[in-house]
Amino acid sequence: MKVEMTDDLKDLYETGQSKRYKDVSRNRTLLAGFVRAIKIMEQAPSSDSLKEFSFLHYEKLRYQLSGKSSVRLSNQYAHRLIFTETEDGLQVELIEIDDTHYGNK
C-alpha cells in the first residue's frame, strides 16, 4: 500500500530523528517498532491484511477517533501509530502517546 506521512514522521522513518517525536527517536524499541510497522504497511496489499500481524494490534478506532485506525509500536509501551485509510493507501498522521490507553496506569 501507499503510505503517506507528515514531514516529521518521514524524518523519523528515514533518519531516526525528529524534533516533534523526540521520545520515540530516543527509545530504540519504539523507533524499531515504528520502522517495522511502516515497512509492513508498505508491503501489505490492504489494511485488512494488517490483522495477520498480531503484534501490531491493528484496530479501527471509535468515538473521538472514529474513521481512523491504529497499530501499536511495541508491546511494552502504549504508543500507537494512528492513520486514516484511503482508497490510495494509508495516510499516517501521528503517534499518540497515551499511558492510560489499554488500561495502563
Pairing of strands 2-5, 89-97: parallel
Cβ atoms < 10 Å from Cβ of 2: 11
Which CATH class for the 2-100 domain? alpha beta
Nearest to 11 by CA among 1, 23, 21: 21
Full-model pTM: 0.83
So where are the chain's domains?
2-100
pLDDT tens per residue, range 18-28:
888 888 899 99
Which helix (H) or strand (E) element contains residue 59?
strand 59-60
| Regions of the chain short of the pLDDT cut 50 | 99, 104-105
